[in-house]
Chains A and B, each alone.
Chain A
């Protein structure tokens, strides 16, 4: 039963993390390089630009749900299982989502990395 809770929690973390990461990446690309913006226009402008993005808030909402799912999962399972497993599956989900929704160039090198990560996750489950 403990394993069921742990893996249900991990799946929730992954789903909402992928959603949050993808939306956050889109929002930040629209805002622009934060360091360059801060140097040129000041911190206030950077904060205003970030907070004027509705995508940013949806991303934060999804990340918050992922965060609380992680808190539940960590109270049920070992950190050395929950954190790497959730992060690795999130990585694979992010690679797919980044190609589909962000149109990033996920080349052979990046897909290969996703396969190696999937192998690592399989070992973690074992």
Chain B
């Protein structure tokens, strides 16, 4: 894991929490949306809080796509779990919502659970993605998918075998 990759994971965390919070604030201003009046959905999108929330969620999406390109889904989601805590803090202190002690405990448990997994390896090595995600970028010789190259290169196959032994 490089500093850049930690930065990408931090981006996923912060953008998601900030985007959700702004979206919530904007939706509370807009009021309930009825299935019979879908035009109210369009006016909700024009609310500045909702608009900024959508922009932040787009930034989250870009960071998330980047993270998924080099890490497992079951690694990215836990690794960005700090967002739940951030969200609760924003809900309590910025949106002035009531967050009960039980909900706080739930949020702590969720964060603890997902933090539990963060210390493990970030990616499962498969033949079709090992050359793309399993190596340090400075030493990465192949950038096209294995299928496009017509088979895994020898060094990638060694990498897979090493991963199977738990050497990585």
Partner of A117, one of B102, B110, B133: B110
Give Cα A18 to B134, complex, Å. Answer: 24
Given A116-B110, A123-B102, answer yes or no on A105-B124 (Cβ-Cβ < 8 Å).
yes
Interface contact B74-A75, CB-CB below 8 Å? no
Q: Does B87 belong to the interface (CB within 8 Å)?
A: yes
Instruction: For A106, give the chain B residue with the smallest CB separation.
Output: B74
Given A40-B143, A79-B87, A110-B117, answer yes or no on A95-B110 (Cβ-Cβ < 8 Å).
no
Interface contact B143-A120, CB-CB below 8 Å? no
A25 cross-chain contacts in B, Cβ below 8 A: 68, 72-73
Interface contact A34-B105, CB-CB below 8 Å? no
Q: Interface of chain B, helix or strand or loop or mixed?
A: helix
Q: Interface size (B, Cβ < 8 Å)?
A: 64
Q: Which of B111-128 contact A (CB under 8 A)?
A: 111-114, 116-117, 119-121, 124, 126, 128
Interface contact B44-A71, CB-CB below 8 Å? yes
